[in-house]
Amino acid sequence: MMTLTLTRGIHAALTITSGSTTLVVDPGAFGFPGSVANADAVLVTHDHFDHVDVPALAVALEDNPGLHVYTPTHLSLEANVDRQTLVSEGDEFMVGDVSVSVIGREQATASIDDDVIINVGYLIGGLVLHPGDARPVIKNLDTLIVALAAPWQSTPQLEEYLRVVTPARVIGLHDGTLNDLGRNFGQKTLARIASSYGGEAISLNPGESVTLPH
């Protein structure tokens, strides 16, 4: 079975390594991960600033000639526009020895005034799903990333979602708008929900890692 090491960044950012392969999901403007400098791929779930810092990503492409970007919408990456691949639901590809499947097609509703916002999730190595700003119903997940604070999600919605999907492990990200008290409360809430169906909540601070499976 493949082993993945997950290192959380700030807000929604997550770095995933397997052997010599490194992927970074959603390196946003709340804190652009230094791991992008040596990454093989950046996976963007959608083009909101808290999930992709486009100017910083353009610089990273200049500095790292081996970097490629996968995104559901076109990003303005200056001279490196040819180093992005547009993806949509159902696509599958490999980054090094790591498989990636594209899940979903739009963001959960944050406002009745919003038009449809394109958002995809990435199932990485068959083990971990980072869904961006969405709650796709995918069963038999090993590890699921969820938002701790978002305008498109209430606690009852998160409870209902996790009790339907029942991932073995759940990791809470998307917390850049919270202070320390809010983050601690969110992690405790996530642990309570996970335990209600027999799952495990893994709490990571920025820079901390966990290896899957464990």
Domains of the chain: 4-204 (3.60.15.10)
**Integer Cα distance of 143 and 130 in angstroms:** 9
Say what the pTM is: 0.96
Token pair 């200056």 is found at 78
**Integer Cα distance of 42 and 57 in angstroms:** 9
Ordered per-residue pLDDT tens for the chain, 214 residues: 689 999 999 999 999 999 999 999 999 999 999 999 999 999 999 999 999 999 999 999 999 999 999 999 999 997 877 899 999 999 999 999 999 999 999 988 877 787 889 999 999 999 999 999 999 999 999 999 999 999 999 999 999 999 999 999 999 999 999 999 999 999 999 999 999 999 999 999 999 999 997 5
How would DSSP label each residue in 95-143? ETTEEEEEE-SBPPPS-TT----B--EEEETTTEEE-SS-----SS-SE
Quick check: 123 and 103 in contact, CB under 8 A?
yes
